[in-house]
Amino acid sequence: MILQIQNVSKNFGGLQALSHVTIDLPEAQILGLIGPNGAGKTTLFNVINGIYSPSEGRVLFLGKDVTGSKPYRLAKMGMARTHQIVQPLNELSVRENVMVGACFGEENHGMTRAAEIADEVIDFVGLDERKEQLAINLNVAQKKRLELARALAARPKLLLLDEVLAGLNPSEIAGMVQTVAAIRERGVTIIMIEHVMHAVMKVSDRIFVLDYGQQIAEGTPDSVSQDPKVIEAYLGDPKLAEEIATRTN
Amino acid sequence: MFDILLPSLVDGLMIGFVYGLAAMGLSLIWGVMNVINLAHGPIIALGMFGLYLAFNTLGLNPYLALILVALAGLLLGVLIYYVAVQRVLTAPHLSTLLATFAVNMILIGIGTAIFSVSPYNVDFSMGSMDFGPVRVLWTRVAAALAALIATGLLYAFLFRTRQGKNIRAVANNRVAAELMGIPSSRVLALSFGIGTMLAATAGGLIATFFPFTILAGGGYELRSFVIVVLGGLGNPLGALVGGLILGMLEGVIPVFMQTSWVPVIEFALFVFIIIIRPSGLLGSRV
Amino acid sequence: MKIYTKPGFWLPIVLVALVGLWPIITDNAANREVVSSILVSVVLASSLNILLGYTGYVSFGHIVFFGFGAYTGFYLMSVQGWSIYAAMIMAGLVPAFLAFLLGKAILRLRGAYFALATIGVNEAARAFIKNFEPMGGSVGMQLNFKIYNDYGGAAQALWTTFYLMIAVTLAVIIVSYLVRFSKFGLGLMAIRENEDAAEVMGVVAPDSKTWAYVISAIFPGIVGLLFFFKNATILPGDAFRLHLSIETIVMVMLGGAGTVLGPILGGAGYQRLRGTLLVTPLFRNIQLVVAGVLLLIIILFIPAGIVGWLRDRFPSLRRVLE
């Protein structure tokens, strides 16, 4: 198990954001994390990533108890993430942005090697032309690719992707899904928060469903998409519910 | 000991009301638009000079003159907002810090050129009364009353008038307020103006206590920071309470050690509270 | 990293070297004094730039390091009889240590709160030094002129001090450049842009910030000692001239925060402006108004400063204007 989330709860004052969440994640698996808006998915990422400490429960990464560890400690152990709302380092170039990932991740490279890795990864995500541009000048889709490049440059063992498909058109989605699968082929474990249902169902090995901070379903994409509790949770969004029910690809 | 302590405490308490008033101005601006007005000090000093001028050249009763000072403070604040603050509101926080600091420098520079660094004095006394070991100066009492009245007016304004409600709306969620048709830019200008108005008024009141120089504002500015942090951001009542606490501390400390250690203690208190309880002792309202 | 191959490195070095050589070549003590004050400003601005420009933390208390370093060194030389070279080392180390301790307390504060805390540091430092008797209290300290004899007599000592100032200035530029293009510097800039995202990427922000603060504190103290040694006297009001903290910020912003060349141009330019205004009787007041207006214009219209603006406008010059 690369990641073990044991009975994690998180509350903010009176708001119970997560309740008794337990997940066992084996290596090189893609776990799809879904649930309606406000279900606590990003909060869970923040707990795994060390931005929040859980109110209850433990997080184990690579067998070590990292509950309450700071984000930089987790980065140095091999965890990387993208953010739902992109967080570019605005006044730095695309290249410098990605180099930060390579320099401060687990592999701890020096500047020269980091620049080489950065160039490779930037090529991989298709931002090559914009390498020297300042991050602030990119459009949103490009910033999302930058987020991914930064995370990849750290060559993480565990990659947390937060709505990496949001705002992409269908062919871009298909391309990104292929990329995610390719990343997994390299041995990286991935957790994906997604709303683009057909994509996440297609690429994930397992699905975990959150609603109101609680786990309401878990299993293969097939079994989850037919789970009545899941469909009901999404019933507020009939389009999505229909998508899940029919599982179109 | 008691004989020395009690008068110091009472004196400090009454001055504390005025400290609270000044801090309220800072707290309002900070709370509404997340701007720390580093021109706060010079504006307090200008309030002092405003009162001096009104008193000496116009021969007005200080408490009437205070109204003029308040108005002047309001106008000055609105001007500062439009010239220096509005443009950098959306820039990184530190831009507003540096912008208001630039205004601070400009005001001090102009003030020094006009008034030099000599001490000025408002020669006004309403006598005093003795309550046992405590001698109460009526100017202090009047100032405390004025501060309380100002607080009451502020609350009435914020909670009973439409402009006041607009301010609270913008403070709460600027985008939503704009969507509801509230002219946020004008509201922010008004808020800034009210903040500086309170500062100038406090300055005017302090002028009735002690002699002052153009540089006197700095010390009160630092106290205002400490009080805002003590009392909680955007919490006017907290500012008043914080002012009282600080006033009392300042009255009491010199009994035990050299007065020049007071800034050091205030700084330590300030940092201590920021680290331990950033939302202030009374909790922030924003 | 082969910095000596980069034109962006040589430009600031050559500029400072030329400015420093001018009084030496003309053998003119008046020129030397003018350049001395420029060098002090350059050192102050460049060192502050490491914290302000690279890391994005605004400190209103930079002059405190200048003052503490100067006082430490002066005390060691005039009371304890140390040599200037040893005193220079301590003048750098003591403020650095102070920065380390101070940093532990206040670097955890973000943005505006940190800035406010540094304002408080300024105030506290002023009060402290005025009361601190072993270092002369409000009267300060005087240097026994005999000490100049150890350095070849008063005239020679002043020139030696000048050479040392040039050396310190060159040192701070080299350090500034090295930090800028190092992994450490990249981490600092990541913190400046987005501290939370930087931590997520693995930048150990608390440590990096502390180092930035410590490094920024070393050079002001050393150049402070040289400055007051030259003057043979030190007073609290002069060593902790708090306006200088603010003016240093103006210098950095004017020249271009976050660049190597910026603080140099800003420091030199502002110092010359000040010198020109020194002639008018209204100097003190006008100076502050001018500085304030300058700062306001920069913040409102050219926040990237001169060098920043040039780099934007003429991208081809970027390799030279670092």
- Going residue by residue through chain B, which has 286 residues, state the pLDDT in tens, using 9 for 90 and above: 677 778 788 888 888 999 999 999 998 898 888 888 999 999 999 999 999 988 888 887 888 888 999 999 999 999 999 999 999 888 777 788 889 989 998 998 898 888 888 888 887 777 788 877 777 888 888 888 888 888 888 888 888 888 888 888 887 777 778 887 788 888 899 999 999 999 999 999 998 888 888 888 888 888 888 888 888 777 778 888 889 988 888 888 877 777 777 777 777 787 777 777 666 665 555 4
- Quote the number of domains for chain C: 1
Of B151, B168, B126, nearest to B202 (Cα)? Answer: B151
Write down the CATH number for the domain with range B2-127+138-276.
1.10.3470
Distance CA A165, CA C100 (A): 44
Distance CA C213, CA C203 (A): 16
Query: Do C190 and C198 contact (CB within 8 A), yes or no?
Result: yes
Domains of chain A by start residue, with CATH: 1-78+159-174+191-249 (3.40.50.300), 81-156 (no CATH)
pLDDT value at position B286? 42
Digitized pLDDT (tens) for each residue of chain A, 249 residues in all: 899 999 999 998 888 899 999 999 999 999 999 988 888 899 999 999 999 999 999 999 999 999 989 999 999 999 999 998 999 999 899 999 999 999 998 888 889 999 999 999 999 888 888 888 889 899 888 898 899 999 999 999 999 999 988 888 888 888 888 889 989 998 999 999 998 888 888 899 999 999 888 998 899 988 888 888 888 887 666 677 677 666 644
Say yes or no for a CB contact (<8 Å) between B110 and C295.
no
Distance CA C136, CA B236 (A): 44
Say yes or no for a CB contact (<8 Å) between C183 and A111.
yes
Annotate B184-240 with DSSP letters as a single string: HHHHHHHHHHHHHHHHHHHHHHHHTTS-B-GGGHHHHHHHHHHHHHHH-TT-HHHHH
What is the Cα gyration radius of chain B?
18
pLDDT value at position C119? 81
Domain limits for position C279: 3-319
Of A233, A215, A213, A244, nearest to A39 (Cα)? Answer: A213
pLDDT value at position C284? 60
Sign of CA dihedral B123, B129, B131, B132: positive
Q: Token pair for residue C31?
A: 């020129």
Query: Do C312 and C268 contact (CB within 8 A), yes or no?
Result: no
Say yes or no for a CB contact (<8 Å) between C116 and B266.
no
pLDDT value at position B278? 63
CATH number, domain of C223, equals: 1.10.3470
Query: Do C57 and C208 contact (CB within 8 A), yes or no?
Result: no
Smallest CA–CA distance from C187 into chain A, residue: A100
Say yes or no for a CB contact (<8 Å) between C190 and A81.
no
Residue from B82, B90, B98, B220 whose CB has the most chain C CBs within 10 Å, to mutate: B98
Query: Do C126 and C236 contact (CB within 8 A), yes or no?
Result: yes
Say yes or no for a CB contact (<8 Å) between C120 and B266.
yes
For residue C115, list chain B residues with Cβ-Cβ distance below 8 A. Answer: 36, 94, 97
> Residues 6 or more apart from A130 whose CB is under 8 A from it?
A94, A138, A142
Residue from C178, C179, C201, C311 whose CB has the most chain A CBs within 10 Å, to mutate: C201
User: What residue ranges of chain C have pLDDT lower than 50?
Assistant: none
Q: What is the pLDDT of residues C21-49, one digit of tens each?
A: 888 888 888 888 889 999 999 999 999 99
- Residue holding tokens 């090529």? A123
Distance CA B234, CA B30 (A): 7
Question: Is residue B181 helix, strand or coil?
Answer: coil
Nearest CA-CA distance, residue B137 and chain C, Å: 30
Distance CA A2, CA A64 (A): 10
Query: Which C residues 235-264 touch A at CB under 8 Å?
Result: 258
Query: Which B residues 178-217 touch C at CB under 8 Å?
Result: none
pLDDT value at position A245? 65
> Residues 6 or more apart from C281 whose CB is under 8 A from it?
none
Nearest CA-CA distance, residue A128 and chain C, Å: 19
